Structure formats: structure tokens, C-alpha cells
Amino acid sequence: MKMLVVEDEHRIADIIRRALNEAGYEVDAVSSGIEAIDKFELQPYDLVLLDLRIPDPPGGGVEVCRQI
């Protein structure tokens, strides 16, 4: 299963990414909504873990969710 973690706090994103990797998942992590949208357009993900309070784009995580 391929997952995308969208979290602007690098320490939290790293903890989540490492835990999921250890559980056997393939995980990419990005720190902004714009990066998430770009990544999602390039490849499909089975699951996106999305921080709703990311600072970009305007509208934050809710807008990212709408776009992907």
C-alpha cells in the first residue's frame, strides 16, 4: 500500500513516516499542500494522511482534499 503523509511539522511527519515504513507500508511525506497536490497528480496513492491545518494553499487541508 502506498501512502502520502501531508504534515508541515517535520518531526511529526518523520515519526509517522518511520512508523508506517516499519509496518511495511511505502510512504512519501511532504510538508505543504501544494507539494501534496503536485505529488498526487504524478502518482496514485492508496491513502493520504492529511493535516487539515497546513498553511497552504488558502483553505488549508480542506482545499487540498477537494483538489485531490
Please state, in angstroms and as integers, the Cα–Cα distance from residue 63 to each residue in 1, 15, 60, following that order: 24, 25, 6
Tell me the backbone φ, ψ of residue 8, rounded to 5 degrees.
-80, -15
One digit per residue, the tens of pLDDT, for the chain of length 68 reads: 999 999 999 999 999 999 999 999 999 999 999 999 999 999 989 999 999 999 888 899 999 999 99
pLDDT of residue 67: 94
pLDDT of residue 37: 96
pLDDT of residue 55: 87
